[in-house]
Chain A
């Protein structure tokens, strides 16, 4: 069955999942139910991917808006995506596209919107409290296996704010493990795998045990000592355990499997494209039991050369994300693993000079897409819609707080859990009250 462009818009507007406003209100009043998601992978598209070229196409708009990419039909009736996403088009029955969450530029921009999206609170670079990332909260409230990190970041958190988000007011103990396992020289990856062979390491640790007695007499009483003891035990477990080493060692993966991720990696690119193997490592980490993995995938701030960059980066994103979904599904992990792909904004639907070589799309803080699969997100679903140019959200608008609350809801964490700022002010995990995005969840 084929639908006209206009039908697509209409259906998108109503919301494919058929949830009315009343349900939304009910969802807000209902208490958090059991957790659907045990794990989460966030593929962060730092800089802001062009929503109207990927998941919110506007084929009826004029050339200076719609650009050169055509829509293609997906395997879900009524949902079309950009032609550079053929693999995801075949798998649209596995995920939800949300078109109606945006920062509205409050706060927006590359310096602030990433902090907002990744914490669910309007955190600024300076001048506000340092709200924690979702993974940091998981680390505090629901940590994973003792011989694995709970929150791993591959490469860096965000291409513009880098790792500013690691710092959070719950303390450095809840910062993510930020590593670049694909780089030989990465100190953190090395720090997580023993620098000595395990037998030599054990011998050293034995000597340490003999020497480390001076403050031990009274240590059961002392919080600091007890804490360090526990951390030392966990750290040494982690070093001795082969789990993490194996997860990071992609030589264990067949060439054919690796190829599914690397095949669309452009040989040359206008912007940094990120490493397709981070999808693979993320999957391996989740398989090993790491609760939250976050990685930044290249650079999507395409003020210039939007269409060149699109041709280079979107197909790689498409095949990688599709392979990740396939792998999680075939291992029975998709139901319990949230998979997100989003950036801090969309890109401006109006192209300033569409005919010019190097035409780009500018910042756009008023509309974007969120790709969400697994862990309790709906399959084959579109939430909300934008106006006919893709500039503003038209219906089912949700704030970023709602997005954050939805994630916590699925992870089984009460977003109203009170934590304390350094000044001892009690705040909720998501400070502002907001309804969860009921239409997006199963």
Chain B
């Protein structure tokens, strides 16, 4: 066999884990399988794939060690291991590239890994006794370390097993730095400081994760500026900046603060008047007062309605024959959310009223049927159904969406309310998290009793109470239809003919040049009566006809889409290419023990009660972190919807204090917004202080963000002094509405184009990611503002901003000021004013000149980017 190289020998001497292995046989699970994970053999693109690779399959990330062992030792006529001549084992020959291996050379024959696997084979390639290999705890030291740039140190990983033994497993772990700009780590666990920052090092032993942190401060020895915190948010942020020696940016000026907070809190630009008024206000607490005012504006509720509707996928409606539709139901969903946010419903109540929703809410079938009937009748000009639906206690529409039931619905609940991405755990152990398939299935059982909407052949039999109304309403529709027919052909026809005759005679009378005699006046009145009677009859018939068409819809909605909790029966189950798995246990996420659920209880109540526990690890954290992310473009845990042991917070103490405060303030969202908005961290400028330019995660300055699609278009409209007609009369939308308020893409092709181009999400229930709303930039976005004909029309609009100020203002300087205030919400600098005046003067006409100025301002990054 190959001789050991010097480093390998040194490694042998240095590592207690290996010393142990040197006198004992290596264990399959503790060592060999761990090395498969470390070397990537059991990854999804290699032998961990569904069908394995080239006939050899390992379970993904070693989830099934017994099966893997079996396949290694028994399959392929046992040729993978050669007990007599271990080095001749196919397993080793392939991995070292001595035999052809699709995955290339994975292993050097002089490596320690090779030695371990070889020795395991030589010792009989045995499986393990159960329990000796289960990890109880994984400990990394040092857990946190301050390192200088270029400094190195070594991590040590110890595993405590369920049989009570402890072993140094460092050489069996893989290491990964989550921020390689700050620190790197090599395969042996040696960390090297690289650049200023704070990096998490992810350590994995088999599928088990552990984290270590390394902090690399900026070396400059200048004194950290004495910055006063506004509140506890700043205390945490500044403390971290101080440790990293990253000086924070100066406070943003008033104009910047005003524009920023307006856009972030209400989704609207401040008007030029608002800017000017704020700039001359000299009161010391004007920012705090402004924040309070903005939080009570309708725009604030509108903006967060948009965000929650994104999150809750308030657009995915319409399964076969359930009489649900995007056009009717997305606006209702939106109206309900808007009403709750308008009332500032405590967040826990808000979620409870969604999660525990039923259609009937304890009412009788008759009462519920009446509600549905009224909703359908309200789907007409004025949309009276919206107000009606908004008054409901619970949001049954959440459970009436496509894919909201069963395991897929559970994924959505976990994502929306717990900030967890469990998608991967549907088919296999989550590769970047702790979740196993059982965790997901056990949690899904709390939701399995929610009835799946949509047509089922036996719905009439199963839901006899609903079926009664289904029949009744369908019968009513038939009767109505017959009546309508009768009215149209019978009395209607006769009245129509009478009216026609009456109209002719009335016209004749009215055309008479002479004044009418008294008898003629009487006659005319009578004729008009005849006409009116026919009209009234016709209107009534039309209303009946409409009802006849609506009633079957109402009937279908009642029978096929009512959200109710069914008796126990269905258990959580997933089918995937990796096989079928099911579970009947009820177990909350992260809890060790299953619970029992009384048959007469809605299991979802247990979920809500668990969420409300002050020590729930996800519920408050998820929303606090999301709200934070909406103001800073990144979460304290980022991505904000990925709360995971593998994804550490940058400021854990800050997150905890925000969560505790949020809970102590009875889940008051406005408290949360106010606290963040009043912080110095939110109000500082976007220009970094020298030395802090490279910071991305510690809030040394205000991070830049692109405006969301809807906010951008509304800002464009307000800057140019124009509006967009949505062209949705057909669906009974109001004539005027902000883009922020549209429940789905309207027929106005420009609006739809902008929504698509600037990344409005489709609200696809299959996508569990906050990133469904795009924040990236693209060439289309630049082209839209720079050259879309509709944008030019807005700039040139005869009643728009430029036309108006040419009429209303006399001197060019004020005109330039006005355009700056309307677009970037500040006054120009002297140089900017001079450049614009020069441009305007040299232009063909004043009109073209100021249009050019407006165009330029709209195309600045300052306009498009929140700063």
Q: Could you list which residues of chain A lie within 8 angstroms of chain B, going by C-beta atoms?
A: 126-130, 166-167, 169, 171-173, 175, 177, 187-188, 190-192, 194-195, 200, 203-204, 207-208, 210-212, 214-219, 221-222, 224-225, 227-228, 231-232, 234-236, 238-239, 418, 422-426
Q: Are A195 and B859 within 8 A (Cβ)?
A: no
* Given the contacts A171-B776, A215-B704, A235-B783, A129 and B766 also touching, CB distance less than 8 Å: yes
Whether B316 sits at the interface, judged by CB under 8 Å, is yes
Query: Which has the most chain B C-beta neighbours within 10 Å: A126, A236, A238, A425?
Result: A126
A230→B764 CA distance, assembly (Å): 31
A224 with B706, Cβ < 8 A, contacts A187-B750, A191-B783 known: yes
Nearest to A149 among chain B residues (CB) is B779
- 25 residue pairs bridging A and B, Cβ less than 8 Å apart: A126-B766, A127-B402, A128-B766, A130-B767, A172-B759, A191-B788, A192-B787, A195-B789, A208-B856, A208-B860, A210-B832, A212-B860, A212-B862, A218-B688, A224-B777, A224-B865, A225-B865, A228-B865, A231-B781, A231-B782, A234-B782, A235-B786, A235-B787, A424-B432, A425-B424
Q: Give the contacting residue for A187; candidates B749, B769, B835, B864; CB below 8 A.
A: B749
Min C-beta distance of B843 to chain A, whole Å? 8
Bitwise interface map of B from 688 to 728 toward A, beta carbon under 8 Å scored 1, else 0? 10000110000000001110000000000000000000000
Chain B: residues with CB nearer than 8 A to chain A?
44-45, 316, 402-403, 421, 423-424, 432, 686-688, 693-694, 704-706, 749-750, 753, 756-759, 762, 764-769, 771-772, 774, 776-784, 786-790, 792, 824, 831-832, 835-836, 839, 852-853, 855-857, 859-862, 864-865, 867
Q: Quick one: given A221-B694, A225-B865, A426-B44, are A207 and B782 in contact (CB under 8 Å)?
A: no
Report how far A214 CA is from B865 CA in the complex, Å: 11
A108–B312 alpha-carbon span in the complex (Å): 29
Q: With a 10 A CB-CB cut-off, give which of B421, B757, B779, B856 has the most chain A CB atoms.
A: B779
Instruction: Tell me if B403 and A425 are in contact (CB < 8 A).
Output: no
Known contacts A211-B857, A425-B424; A227 and B776 CB within 8 A of each other: yes
Complex: how many Å from CA A70 to CA B771?
55
Give chain B residues whose Cβ lies under 8 Å from the Cβ of A228.
777, 781-782, 861, 864-865
| With known contacts A235-B783, A236-B786, A426-B44, A215–B861 Cβ distance under 8 A | yes
Whether A211 contacts B860 by the Cβ 8 Å rule is: yes
Is there contact, CB below 8 Å, between B767 and A187?
no
Q: How far is the CB of B772 from chain A (nearest CB, A)?
A: 6
How far does the Cβ of A249 sit from chain B's closest Cβ, in whole Å? 17
Measured between beta carbons, the chain A residues less than 8 angstroms from B766 are 126-129
Question: In the complex, what distance in Å separates the CA atom of A216 from the CA atom of B867?
Answer: 12
Closest beta carbon of chain B to A5's beta carbon, Å: 42
Q: Are A173 and B789 in contact (CB under 8 A)?
A: no
Instruction: From the candidates A130, A208, A222, name the one contacting B859 in the complex (CB within 8 A).
Output: A208
Complex: A129 Cα to B753 Cα, angstroms: 21
Contact of A171 among B687, B688, B778 (CB under 8 A): B778
Q: Taking the nearest CB of chain B, how far is it from the CB of A178, in angstroms?
A: 9
User: CA separation between A236 and B787, bound complex, in Å?
Assistant: 10
Given the interface contacts A173-B776, A224-B865, does A195 sit within 8 Å of B764 by beta carbon?
no
A173-B780, A207-B836, A232-B782 are known contacts; what are 8 more A-B pairs with Cβ within 8 Å? A127-B766, A128-B766, A130-B767, A191-B789, A207-B856, A224-B705, A418-B45, A426-B45
Q: Known contacts A207-B836, A207-B856, A239-B787; decide if A175 and B861 are in contact (CB<8 Å).
A: no
A215 touches which one: B402, B403, B783, B867 (CB < 8 A)? B867
Q: Of the candidates B704, B705, B768, B789, which one forms a contact with A423 in the assembled complex, judged by CB atoms under 8 Å apart?
A: B768
Q: Which residues of the other chain, B, contact A203 by a CB distance below 8 angstroms?
A: 839, 852
Q: Within the complex, which residue of A126, A167, A212 is in contact with B861, where a contact is CB–CB below 8 Å?
A: A212
CB distance from B631 to the nearest CB of A (A): 16
Q: B residues within 8 A CB of A221?
A: 688, 693-694
Q: Which of A216, A222, A224, A234 contacts B779 (CB 8 A)?
A: A234
A166: B residues at CB distance < 8 A: 756
Interchain nearest-CB distance for B61 vs A (Å): 14
Question: A250 to B861, alpha carbons, bound, how many Å?
Answer: 36
**A221 and B704 alpha carbons, distance in the complex (Å):** 11
Q: Please provide the 7 A-B residue pairs with the shortest distance between their CB atoms, ordered closest to farther.
A: A173-B778, A422-B769, A208-B856, A235-B782, A212-B860, A207-B856, A190-B789
For residue A200, which residues in chain B have a CB less than 8 angstroms away from its CB?
Answer: 852
CB distance from B449 to the nearest CB of A (A): 23
Q: State which of B316, B787, B861 has its C-beta within 8 Å of the C-beta of A225.
A: B861
Contact indicator B704/A225 (Cβ below 8 Å): yes
A165 to chain B minimum Cβ distance, whole angstroms, is 12
Q: Are A172 and B757 also in contact (CB < 8 A) when A191-B784, A423-B421 are?
A: yes
Given A127-B765, A187-B790, A239-B786, A207 and B839 contact (CB-CB distance below 8 Å):
yes
For A207, the chain B residues whose CB sits under 8 A away are 835-836, 839, 852-853, 856
B333 CB to closest chain A CB (Å) equals 16
CB distance from A229 to the nearest CB of B (A): 8
Chain A residue contacts of B432, Cβ below 8 A: 424
Are A187 and B753 touching (Cβ within 8 A)?
yes
Chain A positions within 8 Å of B780 at CB level: 172-173, 175, 177
**Chain A residues with CB under 8 A of B856:** 204, 207-208, 211-212
**CA distance in complex: A172, B774 (Å):** 8
Contacts of A217 in B (CB 8 A): 687
**Residues of chain A lying within 8 A (CB to CB) of residue B867:** 214-215
User: Once the chains are docked, how many angstroms separate the CA of A190 from the CA of B403?
Assistant: 40
Instruction: Return B430 CB to nearest CB of chain A, in Å.
Output: 10
Complex: A71 Cα to B280 Cα, angstroms: 85
Partner of A172, one of B316, B756, B789, B859: B756
